[in-house]
Amino acid sequence: MKQYHGLLKLKFLIILFGCILNFDSYGAHIVGGQMIYTCVEDGDPNDDVVRFEIRCTVYRDRFSGGAVFDDDANFGVYRRSGPNDWAFVREVSSLNFQDRDTIPFDDNNPCVEIPSGIGVEEASYVFSLNLDIINTDYMISYQRCCRNGTINNIVDPGDTGAAFNVVITPQAQLSCDNSPTFDEFPPIFICQDQNLNVDHSATDIDGDVLVYSFCAPSTAGGSEGVGVGATSCLGVTPSPAICTPPYAPVVFIDPDGTVGGLTAATPLAGDPVVTINPNTGFITGVPKDLGQYVVGVCVQQFRGGVLIGEMIRDFQFNVVECDPTVIANLEADEIRGDKEFYFKLCGETELDITNLSVKIEKIVSYQWIMDLGGGILDTITTRDASFTFPGEGQYTGTMLLNEGFECADTAQIIVDVFPETVPDFSFVYDTCVAGPVEFTDLSTTLSSGIISYEWDFGEGTPDATALISNPSYTYPTPGDKLVTLTIQDVNTCEHSLTQELNYFPVAETLIAQPSSFIGCTPATLRFDNLSAPINEDYLTLWDFGDGNTSTELSPTHLYETEGTFTVSLEVISPIGCENSRTFPNIVSIKPSPTADFDCSPEEFNALNNDLFLTDQSLLAERLQWIVPGVGTSMELNPSFSLPDTGIYEVIQIAFHESGCPDTMIKIIDISPLNALFFPNAFTPNNDGKNDTFKPEGIIQGSSDYQLVVWNRWGEVIFTSNDVYSGWNGSKNNTGDPSPVGTYIYTYTYMSSRGETESGEGKIILLR
């Protein structure tokens, strides 16, 4: 296509070529077609014969499964026998298609968003035809069903086929004429409510005058029959010999189905209506209704004012909903109104603008124009732009996207260049004494004045700020402070300056906790350094008075010997300020005993559960014994009777005469006994002695018990899951008595500690 302008961003595709519907295998996806002729040999004066090459091109939806290109197409040749009658001359049979190709999209226009899943392909049937030169018309035609069932402007489109034909007039026969050929295929889709401007012109190599018009495409065939072989006049491929011209035109309706709403001359609605220029072949208008529309374009050839030929192209317009694809947008200080972008330069004359316009892939050109005054225009064609202004003042400009296309967009630019304002400040303080810092504003401006100050003293808290020109601030913590002054002048130009302030004084008085401590050996003591200001950047040296030191800010120390100790602390700040303090006799460590004892017996169980304790402590003035859940004692060597199996704690607390205690804890495990054993013989004679075979011993606490007995042939004759239920010598304890002899048994059970025990053996049954 030569021209196609429109603001297009495809939001959704409306029923394009019927791809989204499911039709029968016979077709329903023919998009259109055309037929042309080319004279290849002048008529012989002796036999009055002229030779033409016929080319019939068929268009189909390339993503559908129906209406494939026929590889045995049949064409009919007819001669006019009356004003509206045609006689069959002959058939050109079993033609295979050639030149199969895809119709390309117009991808040079950035305004078109090409959707996926759509496309049109073409193929041609080409053959030569010798015709006797006669004084009437020939018609060559090809009939095929069916069109898309989704077409909006004709009646019963899914069962309506097409007849593609061309008429060769007597004048064309005599002059060895060539039919005109269309220059381009029309656009596959067009936009609702957007200007349409499609070049549908043709070229005639004989120089004939061409006149264009919308006309009605022809119908042929139908959906009767199965497959391509259906050759009746209402079938998929009508027989050329039987189904002769004339062919009925398609019946137009409006999108709501009212007959007569649309016509061959106005095949789709528009405002203004979509029309074709009779002289140029340009199709213009604004399509109004979404949908799919059959269109016929006729081209008449005039030579010396006489009509010598006519051809028709049958195709479809698909009207879809579209939106603009590009939007102008800039990164600006302020956006005012509709795409008016404001920039403010304070004390600077250079401006870098970042372009945020979208869609980038649809933008093919950028045009920046900035008026620098005095008739000077600065023009830039890159995506982002940089401008240098001659001085203070206000400047305006534009940024245009896709100039010359309908999907263009424009940004208006306003730039104010204001005089310079420079922030500055100084500060003074006693570096080694924790006190206030005095700040002094030194800012300058070439504008009419500074109207606001905002200080941030670098503490990261809301109260570490000020809104006056010369504030004072006392820091609660030491450190390298980043102090920021932000000023604003009368032009609302805002500038900031940040300086580093090294605040590392030493506290006038060093404070540590605890202030006193009395403990027992060994004693672990944490010293908290509460001096302020101080942090980990300071060098701290602790002397704990027992020969040990630390450089931690707040250390923990273990006193392992008794005595009274003096602690000292020295602090040096990162900038060399220092202070020290001694804390005399603040730590008193008393002696402690050593708890220890022995337990007997060495092994405990459910039958041996008397516990005897023997003191082995050192430096103990008195003792306390505790067995939780059992009892307590103050005796030197007590004993306890443990009532049940399980785990017991035995606790000894030894007290020194200083009052300092020491504790020893030992664990006693009273293990349960599981001792099952099986006899090697039994006598099931009901005398009350040894009548059943079952386990003996200590069986309390066992679980998941199973006993299985087999005879010598491997047959299971007894099983039990009850440790107290034994075998009475009969099969399953209910059958006939088993014979005297030897039997095999296996057993498994879980002990009270969760351990699986298993075994096997032999039992002799005696009577």
Residues sharing a CB contact under 8 Å with residue 161, sequence separation 6 or more, in sequence order: 30, 143, 144, 145, 146, 147, 219, 220, 221, 222, 236, 238
Same CATH topology for 421-503 and 512-589: the answer is: yes
In CATH terms, the fold of domain 334-418 is Immunoglobulin-like (2.60.40)
pLDDT of res. 14: 27
Average pLDDT, consecutive stretches of 10 residues, N- to C-terminus, the chain (767 residues): 31 29 44 94 73 94 72 95 94 93 74 70 94 95 88 88 94 93 88 86 95 95 66 87 94 72 89 94 92 93 93 89 82 92 95 94 94 94 96 96 87 96 94 92 93 95 95 93 96 94 89 89 91 88 94 93 94 91 93 93 75 93 94 94 83 94 90 74 86 80 85 88 89 87 89 80 87
Judging by DSSP bridges, how do beta strands 528-529 and 512-513 pair with one another?
Answer: antiparallel
Domain residue extents for the chain: 10-322, 334-418, 421-503, 512-589, 597-670, 675-765
Q: Distance between CA 504 and CA 500 in Å, rounded?
A: 13
Residue with tokens 């169980």: 605
304-322 in b/e form (b: 16+ CB < 10 A) is eeeebbbbbbbbbbbbbbb
Query: Which SS3 state, helix, strand or coil, does residue 557 take?
Result: strand
pLDDT of res. 114: 65
CATH 2.60.40.10 fits 512-589, yes or no: yes
CATH 2.60.40.10 fits 597-670, yes or no: yes
| Total-model pTM | 0.51
Which CATH number among 3.40.1350, 3.40.50, 1.10.150, 2.60.40 corresponds to the domain 675-765? 2.60.40
pLDDT of res. 473: 96
pLDDT of res. 50: 94
Residue with tokens 């042939």: 713
Among 355, 390, 356, 357, smallest CA distance to 371 is for 390
CATH number of 421-503: 2.60.40.10
Q: Distance between CA 30 and CA 318 in Å, rounded?
A: 14
pLDDT of res. 9: 31
pLDDT of res. 17: 31
pLDDT of res. 12: 27
pLDDT of res. 4: 30
Q: Distance between CA 152 and CA 634 in Å, rounded?
A: 108
Cα dist from 2 to 65, 126, 185, 303, 677, whole Å: 30, 27, 9, 27, 106
pLDDT of res. 281: 95
